A and B are shown apart, each in its own frame.
Chain A
Amino acid sequence: MKKIFAFSVILGLLFTFVFADTSSFGIYPDKVVIGTFQALSGPYAIIGQGMLKGMKAYFNWINDQGGINGRKIDLLVYDDQLNPALTVTDVKRMVEQDHVFAVVGGLGTPGCLAVMNYLNDNKVPFVYQGSGAPQLSNPPKEFVFPVQPNYDLEGHLIARFLVQNEHKSKIAVMYMNNDIGQQELDGIQKQLADFNMKPYITIAYNPSSADFSSDIIKLMSANPDSLVIAGLITDTIRIVTQIKQYGMNIPIVTIYPNADPAFIKLGGKAVEGVILTGWVPIPTKDNPDFTAKFEQYMKIYQKSYPNEIPSSYAAAGFIAAEVFCHALELAGPDPTRISLVNALDTFDNWNGILAQGITFTPTDREGKTSMYFMKIENGTFVPISGWITLK
């Protein structure tokens, strides 16, 4: 009898587990529990801490107004140090133990790619990734919503800008020997092939290096007319600084993860004249509508972090929070994971406060496909082009 009872209990638990309605996990009468993974310690903490601040600032602002449809946002944060091994265990814990409704704003290409299929298979919405890996959007996945432009697209746009706008023909590419660098290089090569060109010289480098002398000497020997550096903030500044030390003076273009005030602060005079791509607009006199929105962003941010100037990583976190909250609102008073997905798929060139021009459809998950170019002049970013897109 005892055995039959125990068997029945186990069977009952199994049925409960297998057939539990997970679509509204994380939805409580007074709150919505969501999760994120960020590098809050380790070498990439500068990015993760900034991104988390941006998310928290927006969620605090929403919660102060009573939340979304009467539910406050409860954000669980895991520090994965941008280590994909930690990301996998953290995300599994979020989904299987914490029962989060969605994962919002995870940081880092390796970690995002490591958990992308797991989240999609478990039907957990994964909204905004701090990554431009093309695998996130191509092929489209039902529960994965990338927002940032992907690196392949960026490579195309940079190559097109250098050839068509700057009339360069000897384009050198220095790229990190990892997914980001390779995807940027792929985009550049494909776009140059459309012009019947190819990179003049390509140099892969190890992003943890501090000494780039051998790479720069190779570059000097090749004598290109322009250089694209597909690297992150510290290595890009090291390369630019060392190039200047060697007395080399060529136009340098680098990628949007570097479009942050820290790039100018760390790089100092060496980064003057460097051209960068951007996807978050900059407030300018000729764009008063966005300037007003930017002022609102600053007020919201500084309500949580008084007197602090937000980094571009904070802006990314803010946009992640904006996209999620808007979709949650559209999902109605009794949201489910499916209704959130359906709501996101209605975004059509949607503008929030900082979020601009975000589009999703079930067959197109490249949230943001337009970018612009800016140049560092007298220690500030100055836009030098309008919005550019491949479409």
Chain B
Amino acid sequence: MIFQQIIAGIITGALYAIVALGLVIAYKVTGVMNFAYGYMGMISAYIFFTCFSVIGMNYIFAFLISVAFGAFVSYAVERGLLRPVRNISPASMVIITLGLLLLLEGIALQVWGNNYQQIPNLLNGLPLILKFSGGIIVIPQQNLLILGLVTGVIIALILYLNLTFQGKAMRAVAQNEEVSKLMGINSSLMMSISWIISGAIGSLAAVLVAPQTFVYPDMMLSLQIMGFTAAVLGGFESIPGSIIGGISIGVIENLVGTYISTNLKTTFSLAIIVAILLIKPEGLLGSAKARRV
């Protein structure tokens, strides 16, 4: 049973990881902690629901539209709401994202109402069953899809950031905006691209999790909290850290739920994470910053 629980934990953790990744990439480049992140994804899930269940579009087409919509909303938020105040009051940007959270929740309630809406799984066939001497592992097809898509996005993002000029430019802006400008990098464009990527990732996570949670205004609340936690655990500025953080939380949660108590799985997991952060405050892969005192 332990292998089965670890596999299930990895799949849950992959969703935490991808949310953490979206938060971290926007934070690294623009320095903004986006508290509306999950709710922006929630709007994309509603767009998917409208396209697929109401209008009757093809599943894949509806999926692409909702992800593109999420990317556009994220771009619009960064350019229209955050950029104007960026050099005036960085703290205001955080307040703006909190206000945006309430605004998006209100919009969802007004447009789609309070009722839960259903999105079907893309894959519904018999689960993958692996038998071996130590036991048996069962993986539902939709979970395989989640794992495959999340892995694909993570690999694509790592390749993009490390192998393309644009990706390297983005990392340069993240490291030092002023110096990158002197090197001729269009930092404004890099900021926009980071939010576009972040928004697309958030939308992807929301649409992937929607068949499990249903679509409703608070559908992403838990995932957003766990995404933040994963990012903190990994070291908020580290992309590999957020992936490791997310998967660790997923696995710890499942093991705690199995061997300690289902009731305490979230509480106990978060307590373990607090303990880890007490020992290593910069997170698992974060770098300690030297400060002059």
A residues sitting closer than 8 Å to B (CB atoms) are 41, 43, 45-46, 49, 177, 203-206, 208-211, 213-215, 217-218, 220-221, 234, 237-238, 241-242, 245-247, 262, 265-268
CB-contact partner of B12 in A211, A238, A245, A267, under 8 A: A211
Whether B118 contacts A268 by the Cβ 8 Å rule is yes
**Cβ–Cβ < 8 Å partners of B223 in chain A:** 210
B47 interface residue, CB < 8 Å from A? no
Known A46-B115, A234-B116; contact A213-B11, beta-carbon cutoff 8 A: yes
**Cβ–Cβ < 8 Å partners of A234 in chain B:** 116, 214
CB-contact partner of A213 in B8, B116, B120, B213, under 8 A: B8
* Chain A residue at minimum C-beta to C-beta distance from B124: A245
Known A208-B222, A238-B212; contact A220-B118, beta-carbon cutoff 8 A: no
Whether B266 contacts A206 by the Cβ 8 Å rule is yes
CB-contact partner of B120 in A208, A220, A268, under 8 A: A268
Whether A206 contacts B262 by the Cβ 8 Å rule is yes
CB-contact partner of A46 in B114, B141, B213, B253, under 8 A: B114
A241 CA / B142 CA spacing, docked (Å): 12
Whether B5 contacts A41 by the Cβ 8 Å rule is no
In the complex, how many angstroms separate the beta carbon of A214 from the nearest chain B beta carbon? Answer: 4
Whether A206 contacts B263 by the Cβ 8 Å rule is yes
* Chain A residue at minimum C-beta to C-beta distance from B123: A245
Whether A246 contacts B222 by the Cβ 8 Å rule is no
CB-contact partner of A217 in B116, B222, B258, under 8 A: B258
* Chain B residue at minimum C-beta to C-beta distance from A174: B262
- B1-33 near A? 1/0 per residue, CB < 8 Å: 100110011011000000000000000000000
Whether B140 contacts A246 by the Cβ 8 Å rule is yes
B180 interface residue, CB < 8 Å from A? no
A305 CA / B214 CA spacing, docked (Å): 27
A304 CA / B208 CA spacing, docked (Å): 39
A41 CA / B217 CA spacing, docked (Å): 11
CB-contact partner of B257 in A49, A215, A220, A268, under 8 A: A215
A213 CA / B137 CA spacing, docked (Å): 12
Known A234-B214, A247-B129; contact A215-B138, beta-carbon cutoff 8 A: no
A262 CA / B113 CA spacing, docked (Å): 15
* Chain B residue at minimum C-beta to C-beta distance from A44: B114
**Cβ–Cβ < 8 Å partners of A208 in chain B:** 222
**Cβ–Cβ < 8 Å partners of B121 in chain A:** 245
A237 CA / B254 CA spacing, docked (Å): 20
**By DSSP majority rule, is chain A's interface helix, strand, loop, or mixed?**
helix
Whether A214 contacts B8 by the Cβ 8 Å rule is yes
Whether B116 contacts A266 by the Cβ 8 Å rule is yes
Whether B265 contacts A214 by the Cβ 8 Å rule is yes
12 pairs, CB–CB < 8 Å, chain A vs chain B: A41-B114, A177-B263, A206-B262, A206-B263, A213-B12, A245-B140, A245-B143, A246-B127, A247-B127, A247-B138, A265-B118, A268-B118
**Cβ–Cβ < 8 Å partners of B116 in chain A:** 46, 234, 262, 266
B172 interface residue, CB < 8 Å from A? no
A210-B212, A218-B258, A268-B118 are known; give 19 further A-B pairs, CB within 8 A. Answer: A41-B114, A43-B218, A46-B114, A49-B114, A204-B263, A206-B262, A206-B265, A210-B223, A211-B212, A213-B9, A213-B254, A215-B257, A234-B214, A245-B140, A245-B142, A245-B143, A247-B126, A247-B127, A266-B118
A206 CA / B141 CA spacing, docked (Å): 25
B68 interface residue, CB < 8 Å from A? no
Whether B262 contacts A217 by the Cβ 8 Å rule is no
| A-B Cβ contacts below 8 A, count | 90
In the complex, how many angstroms separate the beta carbon of A154 from the nearest chain B beta carbon? Answer: 22
**Cβ–Cβ < 8 Å partners of A262 in chain B:** 115-116
* Chain A residue at minimum C-beta to C-beta distance from B255: A214
B209 interface residue, CB < 8 Å from A? yes
In the complex, how many angstroms separate the beta carbon of B215 from the nearest chain A beta carbon? Answer: 10
**Cβ–Cβ < 8 Å partners of A43 in chain B:** 216, 218
In the complex, how many angstroms separate the beta carbon of A77 from the nearest chain B beta carbon? Answer: 16
Whether A45 contacts B114 by the Cβ 8 Å rule is yes
In the complex, how many angstroms separate the beta carbon of A52 from the nearest chain B beta carbon? Answer: 13
In the complex, how many angstroms separate the beta carbon of A250 from the nearest chain B beta carbon? Answer: 15
- B200-219 near A? 1/0 per residue, CB < 8 Å: 00000000010111101010
**Cβ–Cβ < 8 Å partners of B140 in chain A:** 242, 245-247
* Chain B residue at minimum C-beta to C-beta distance from A233: B116
* Chain B residue at minimum C-beta to C-beta distance from A43: B218
* Smallest CB-CB A-B distances: 4 pairs: A245-B140, A213-B8, A214-B257, A45-B114
CB-contact partner of A214 in B5, B118, B143, B212, under 8 A: B5
In the complex, how many angstroms separate the beta carbon of A242 from the nearest chain B beta carbon? Answer: 7
* Chain A residue at minimum C-beta to C-beta distance from B253: A214
A46 CA / B116 CA spacing, docked (Å): 8
A215 CA / B12 CA spacing, docked (Å): 13
CB-contact partner of B213 in A49, A210, A217, A246, under 8 A: A210
**Cβ–Cβ < 8 Å partners of A41 in chain B:** 114
**Cβ–Cβ < 8 Å partners of B265 in chain A:** 206, 214
**Cβ–Cβ < 8 Å partners of A204 in chain B:** 261-263
Whether B114 contacts A220 by the Cβ 8 Å rule is no
**Cβ–Cβ < 8 Å partners of B126 in chain A:** 247
Whether B138 contacts A246 by the Cβ 8 Å rule is yes
Whether A214 contacts B262 by the Cβ 8 Å rule is yes
- B103-129 near A? 1/0 per residue, CB < 8 Å: 000000000001110101100101101
**Cβ–Cβ < 8 Å partners of A49 in chain B:** 114
A245 CA / B141 CA spacing, docked (Å): 8
**Cβ–Cβ < 8 Å partners of B12 in chain A:** 211, 213
A270 CA / B243 CA spacing, docked (Å): 32
In the complex, how many angstroms separate the beta carbon of A324 from the nearest chain B beta carbon? Answer: 26
Whether B218 contacts A214 by the Cβ 8 Å rule is no
Whether A210 contacts B258 by the Cβ 8 Å rule is no
In the complex, how many angstroms separate the beta carbon of B53 from the nearest chain A beta carbon? Answer: 11
A381 CA / B253 CA spacing, docked (Å): 37
**Cβ–Cβ < 8 Å partners of A210 in chain B:** 209, 212-213, 222-223
